[in-house]
Structure 1
Amino acid sequence: MRPSIYFNVHLVSDSTGETLNAVMRAAAAQFENVIPLEHNYYLVRSERQLERVMRDIEAAPGVVWFTISDEALRMKLEQFCRAKQVPVLAVLDASIHLLSRHLGVAATDRVAGQHALNQEYFERIEAINFALAHDDGQNLQGLIHADVILVGVSRTSKTPTCVYLANRGVKAGNIPLVPGVPPPAVLDQIDPANGPLVIGLKIGVERLVQIRSQRLIALNETSTTDYTDEEAVRSEVTEASRLFQRKKWTMIDVSRRSVEETAAAILNKLNERRGQG
């Protein structure tokens, strides 16, 4: 196996840096055994702040990605990087230019435009609060106001998927299925046509045993229980699948899906239901 390659990547943003982090990690993931050493600089909006960034870049050369709206600061950073022969890329420029050409409208130089306090922003915050308040079977009656309800056995990534969906403005709650305990009655009160979209999260037995075993190791728990016993887990998974089929809920297999992939599949199902697919 080829040894790992480490490289410095400087992420310079006049906002929160979310875009840069997402793009950098997506790009780095396409290379095997490549490990970026992140240097993050957020809310860079003055020459003084940029001077500190440039000193750091000079001390640890690598790749520079930036999202800066101020033209003077952009030029200063780009000229510095060219002089030092450091690769530099304005991450959003190509996308902004494409939209500008398509729409026939010039882009603004608004800082952190994606974080404007508009209706969408407040809906996202409301969705996050909803996910936290309706996590792991809490406030069951309030789930009738959800957009999506996730149902599944323990360790099927219900909570992180709900939080991810909330960041997309979707109000999601989740209900754990516990062996020997009947599902909460609220699930029988859901209107299949107009109520929340109920999603059953399926998972393979071997994969679930692996995930749960790793969880116990992380907690320094060494005792053997039904939580990781293969036959007990098989029975648990089978019973959950039967419930999903009996209720005719949409099912998504999360065995080899990341949280992002599961959320994307749920968003597709939700859009189809709303007639946007």
Structure 2
Amino acid sequence: MSPARSARLATYFHVHLVSDSTGETLNAMAKAVAARFEGVIPIEHIYALVRSDRQMERVLEEISAAPGVVLHTLVDRSLRTQLEDGCRRLDMPQIGALDPLEGALSRYLGAALSTRVGAQHALDHDYFNRIAALDFAMAHDDGQGTADQLEGADVVLCGVSRTSKTPTCIYLAHRGVRAANVPLVPGQEDGERLTTLRNPLVIGLTVSPERLVAIRKNRLEGLGAGGTSSYVDHDAVRDETVKARRAFERRGWPTIDVTRRSVEETAAAIINLLSERRSHRVGTSW
């Protein structure tokens, strides 16, 4: 096997994620860490809502059948001990994913850790705020809502078709941000109605013409609607994106180039802009 061929082969390994809550935190942490290793692909085994001895016994049986690394965020001391003892018998590494941060904060704050399972998922004000933000995003998607209704938004995203406006709004909603979006449609909507908004921060999303054409072609193929049209014509798309950029500049809206950004990265940039706005330091582009 040639060195080039060998370099392309991925390394697979089993990772067991054990949580007495939903497992969302643990799953996100595992993905973030694994992404830092090139050519390494984890085979995830997720065990959520593990809250009894019997459930833990089944988890250990699964772990024994697929040796690998065990990560956990267990709050209950007896369950944690059961998992640690079981991994020790299996000679398998186990890691309390939140231990370093919890220990550091406990020492700094001089406070004891809570033993309440799923404390981060309590039905508190923040939880209901996220649900309300999600409802808002869905009700004000793709240009829905009058100017008066859009005043209830924290941010309004504006951009040409296929600039990830909707998924970005949904992601922001999960962070408690009320987001709406308005598409720029050649010959119909140019964002002028957004210039009267006083409360929301209006942000323009831009993208390179080449990237936009590729995205739109994939979209049409997925819908079984091939063929040629101004929607995917390079010259028409370039003209569309140039007009959008000029409209954003003319109105003084901050802009974010989403050409090489994931939805998560775009949302992070938007949250930064919102924070800067609150500090009266809004920039012009990201």
TM-score by length of 1: 0.95
Structure 2 residue aligned with 1:233, among 237, 250, 253? Answer: 237
Contact 1:134 1:140 in 2 (8 A): no
- Summarize the Cα distance change of 1:170–1:65 in structure 2 as closer, same or farther, 3 Å threshold: same
Counterpart CA distance in 2 for 1:240 and 1:67 is 46
Counterpart CA distance in 1 for 2:126 and 2:137 is 16
Which residue number corresponds to residue 160 of structure 1? 167
Structure 2 residue aligned with 1:182, among 179, 185, 189? Answer: 189
Structure 2 residue aligned with 1:261, among 255, 260, 265? Answer: 265
Deviations 1:1-49 (A, max 9, x none): 3301111111111111110111111111111222111111111101111
* SS of alignment partner, residue 102 of structure 1: helix
Deviations 1:150-196 (A, max 9, x none): 001111111111111111111001011111113355313212xxx10
Counterpart CA distance in 2 for 1:78 and 1:222 is 56
Counterpart CA distance in 2 for 1:231 and 1:175 is 23
Percent identity of paired positions between Structure 1 and Structure 2: 57
- Segments of structure 2 that go 5 or more residues without pairing to the other structure are 1-6, 282-286
Counterpart CA distance in 2 for 1:107 and 1:276 is 37
Counterpart CA distance in 1 for 2:118 and 2:79 is 15
2:101 maps to 1:95: yes
Counterpart CA distance in 2 for 1:261 and 1:140 is 29
Structure 1 residue aligned with 2:71, among 55, 65, 72? Answer: 65
TM-score by length of 2: 0.92
Structure 1 residue aligned with 2:120, among 114, 119, 137? Answer: 114
* SS of alignment partner, residue 166 of structure 1: helix
Structure 2 residue aligned with 1:150, among 153, 157, 166? Answer: 157
Counterpart CA distance in 2 for 1:85 and 1:219 is 51
Structure 1 residue aligned with 2:9, among 3, 10, 14? Answer: 3
- Summarize the Cα distance change of 1:276–1:127 in structure 2 as closer, same or farther, 3 Å threshold: farther
User: Moved runs in structure 1, 4+ residues, more than 4 A?
Assistant: none
Counterpart CA distance in 1 for 2:110 and 2:44 is 37
Tell me the amino acid that sits aligned with residue 90 of structure 2: K
How far residue 114 of structure 1 moved from its aligned partner, in angstroms, is 0.9
* SS of alignment partner, residue 64 of structure 1: strand
Q: Structure 1 stretch 178-187 or stretch 264-273: which is displaced more?
A: 178-187
How far residue 246 of structure 1 moved from its aligned partner, in angstroms, is 1.4
Deviations 1:43-74 (A, max 9, x none): 11011111111111111111111111100000
Q: How many residues align?
A: 274
Counterpart CA distance in 2 for 1:179 and 1:31 is 44
How far residue 118 of structure 1 moved from its aligned partner, in angstroms, is 1.4
Q: CA RMSD in A?
A: 1.5
Counterpart CA distance in 2 for 1:221 and 1:83 is 58
Counterpart CA distance in 1 for 2:248 and 2:191 is 14
2:226 maps to 1:222: yes
Contact 1:4 1:34 in 2 (8 A): yes
Deviations 1:75-124 (A, max 9, x none): 11011112112121111111111110110111111111111111111111
Which residue number corresponds to residue 78 of structure 1? 84
- Summarize the Cα distance change of 1:197–1:89 in structure 2 as closer, same or farther, 3 Å threshold: same
Counterpart CA distance in 1 for 2:121 and 2:280 is 25
Contact 2:161 2:183 in 1 (8 A): yes
Contact 2:18 2:74 in 1 (8 A): yes
* SS of alignment partner, residue 117 of structure 2: coil
- Segments of structure 1 that go 5 or more residues without pairing to the other structure are none
Counterpart CA distance in 1 for 2:10 and 2:177 is 39
* SS of alignment partner, residue 123 of structure 2: coil
- Summarize the Cα distance change of 1:276–1:86 in structure 2 as closer, same or farther, 3 Å threshold: farther
